Amino acid sequence: MKPTVDLLIEDIGRLVPGKTAPLEGASVAIDSGKIQAVGPARKLAGLFHPEQVIDASGKLLTPGFVDSHTHLVFGGERSNEFIQRCAGADYEQIAATGGGIRASVRMTREATLDQLIEEARPRLQRMVASGSTTIEIKSGYGLDLETELRLLRAIRQLGSECPAEIVPTFMGAHEIPDEWRDSRQEYIRILCEEMIPAVAEEGLAEFCDIFCERGVFDPDESLRILRAGVEHGLKPKIHADEMAASGGSLVAAEVGAVSADHLMEITAEGIEALSGANVVATLLPGTTFYLRKPGYAPARSLIEAGLEVAIATDRNPGSCTIESMLFIMGLSVMQMGMTPLEAFRAATHAGAKALAREDLCGSIEQGKRADLILWDVPDEEVLIHEFANEVPRTVWTSGQFVSDLLPGINSPVDEPDQGV
Ligand code: NIG
Ligand code: FE
């Protein structure tokens, strides 16, 4: 007797598994939320009794996207800064005069838990509809214990209702808040001795991240804060070498960070340090584009140095509002010289690695979570060429149709909100 499986996606025109080489004419069997088998269509047809069959001939099947770097939960909005930048103002100048992250902090401190959740929910819905099935979200617009905990609780609530897996990161070291700018050492002490222990105690975060940048946290401060995180079980991540070569990649290597992110200004020494320490290099070209910066991160040098390169949206209220991973893939191919298949690996398997989840998701392989996207195009080249236009035909998270889980998507305007 052939074993029964929940679903067979059959005769797939082209399958991009994320980690390994593409396949043509394959099928994928799914059961209990996991990928049961991947192989030639004729072979799989004889092996299982599927409850449901989907004909995917002529279509492209890929893993769900792993968006490993976002700041999705915040109060208010900063379109004014975008208009100022388009008229010639600079991101760091705006930040130095009290705008930027600190403007979002003031608005976030005013927001209730429910407001933070309500405002983030449609962003998250759009991300899932565009194919992101694992999404990291950072705190970092509170910068005091009470508001940072509120942000992390909002992230937890969104995670419990969202069909995608939500991965929480504590980023109290996003900026020095207004009230501690004359005694920054005291804020760093509070971060290490009060905030990190409280976040860990409530189990609200898996990672600890820091903005190591000129004018924000320097390498020594970054090292101290990330080490305090490690002592409390929070895995380190770092915003490194974004606006200037500030030594962040060296800190990443020294502390054994899971990923170093941005890297627009990384040096040869930084690249060597990351590759020696097996740190994932996460590139955020949406931010470079959105800030109208001339220099994208050196993706080719990083790939040639043997690093695992991930890409992510960096969705946040100021420096990048792009939510679509496909759009980010398009930018990666256009502006950083990645091939379509490199961009796919970066948006799936490498993203999972940047979240220490490569055994769970990010590739179409037996035993992985059945997080999948079916696209109405024949292959990844056609898809990338249409990066600003294409939307998934179907998204599955843990083997379930997202459209069944997200009835609010594409519904009439008067239908009540259904949650994520
Ligand atoms: O990743 N670099 C620091 N943090 C965000 C920007 C946040 C903001 O401008 O609100 C980033 O780009
Ligand atoms: Fe960021």
Number of the ligand closest to the Cα of 82: 1
Place of tokens 């059959």: 10
Separation of 69 CA from ligand 2 center, angstroms?
6
Largest CA distance in the chain: 74
pLDDT tens per residue across span 78-114: 999 999 999 999 988 998 888 999 999 999 999 999 9
Percent of the chain at pLDDT exceeding 70: 96
Q: Quick one: tokens of 285? A: 């070209």
Q: Report the pLDDT value the prediction gives residue 6, as an integer from 0 to 100.
A: 97
Q: Which residue type sits at 174?
A: H
CA distances from 76 to 212, 320, 321, 410 (A): 25, 15, 13, 25
Sequence-separated contacts (24+) of 33-38 with Cβ below 8 Å:
33/369, 33/370, 33/398, 33/399, 33/400, 34/367, 34/368, 34/369, 34/370, 34/398, 34/399, 35/364, 35/365, 35/366, 35/367, 35/368, 35/369, 35/370, 36/5, 36/366, 37/366, 38/364, 38/365, 38/366
Mean pLDDT over 380-398 rounds to 96
Q: How much distance in Å is there from the Cα of 58 to the middle of ligand 2?
A: 37
Q: Identify the nearest ligand to the CA of 138 by its number.
A: 2
Ligand 1 pocket test, candidate residues 316, 321, 322, 328, most atoms within 8 A of CB? 316
CA 170 to centroid of ligand 2, rounded, Å: 12
Q: Are 325 and 131 in contact (CB under 8 A)?
A: yes
Distances (CA, A) of 313 to 9, 208, 262, 292: 29, 18, 11, 16
pLDDT on residue 98: 87
User: Atom 12, ligand 1: which residue's CA is nearest?
Assistant: 319
Q: Which two tokens stand for residue 265?
A: 């200004």
- Residue 62 φ/ψ, nearest 5 degrees: -135, 165
Percent residues over pLDDT 90 in the chain: 92
Q: Tally Cβ neighbours within 10 Å of residue 416.
A: 7
Ligand 1 binding pocket mutation candidate from 68, 70, 71, 291 (most atoms within 8 A of CB): 71
Burial (CB count within 10 angstroms: exposed 0-12, middle 13-18, buried 19+), residue 142: buried
Q: Which of 221, 151, 219 is nearest to 191 (CA)?
A: 221
Categorize the per-residue pLDDT at 403 as very low, low, confident or very high, splitting at 50, 70 and 90: confident
Average pLDDT, the chain: 95
Rounded CA separation 157/161 (Å): 7
User: Ligand 1: residues whose CB is within 6 Å?
Assistant: 71, 100-101, 104, 211, 239, 242, 287, 314, 316-319
Q: What residues have CB less than 8 Å from 295, skipping those under 6 apart?
A: 264, 265, 288
pLDDT at 417 over 70: no
**The pLDDT value given to residue 420:** 57
Q: What pTM was estimated for this model as a whole?
A: 0.96
Task: Using the mean position of ligand 2's atoms as its centre, give its distance from the Cα of residue 70 in Å.
Answer: 6
Could you give the domains of the chain? 4-63+362-405 (2.30.40.10), 65-353 (3.20.20.140)
> Among 174, 319, 321, 322, which residue has the most ligand 1 atoms within 8 Å of its CB, making it the best to mutate?
319
For 382, what's the count of Cα atoms within 13 Å in the CB-facing half-sphere?
10
Q: Summarize pLDDT for 348-370 with one digit per residue, the tens.
A: 999 999 999 999 999 999 999 99
The tens digit of pLDDT for each residue in 5-44 reads: 999 999 999 999 999 999 999 999 999 999 999 999 999 9
The two tokens of residue 149 are 């905990």
Alpha carbons 194 and 315: distance in angstroms, whole number: 28
Helix (H) or strand (E) holding 325: helix 325-336
378 pLDDT exceeds 90? yes
Give the CA distances from residue 275 to residues 17, 222, 256, 280, 392, in Å, rounded to whole numbers and listed in that order: 24, 20, 11, 8, 34
State the sign of the Cα–Cα–Cα–Cα dihedral 378, 33, 152, 77: positive
Q: pLDDT digit string (tens) for 112-156?
A: 999 999 999 999 999 999 999 999 999 999 999 999 999 999 999
Nearest-atom index, ligand 1, CA of 318 = 9
- In the predicted structure, residue 47 carries a pLDDT above the cut 90: yes
Tokens of 147: 């508001």
| Nearest alpha carbon to residue 384 among 324, 306, 320 | 324
Task: Name the closest-CA residue to atom 3, ligand 1.
Answer: 211
Ligand 1 atom nearest to CA at 262 = 1
CB 384 within 8 A of CB 329: yes
Structure confidence at residue 97 (pLDDT): 87
> What does the alpha-carbon distance between residue 39 and residue 385 come to, in Å, rounded to a whole number?
28
CA distance 371 to 351: 14
Q: Which ligand is nearest to the CA of 173?
A: 1
> For the purposes of burial, counting CB atoms within 10 Å of the CB of 188, is it exposed (0-12), middle (13-18) or buried (19 or more)?
buried
> Which ligand 1 atom is the nearest neighbour of the CA of 242?
2
State the average pLDDT over residues 286-313: 97
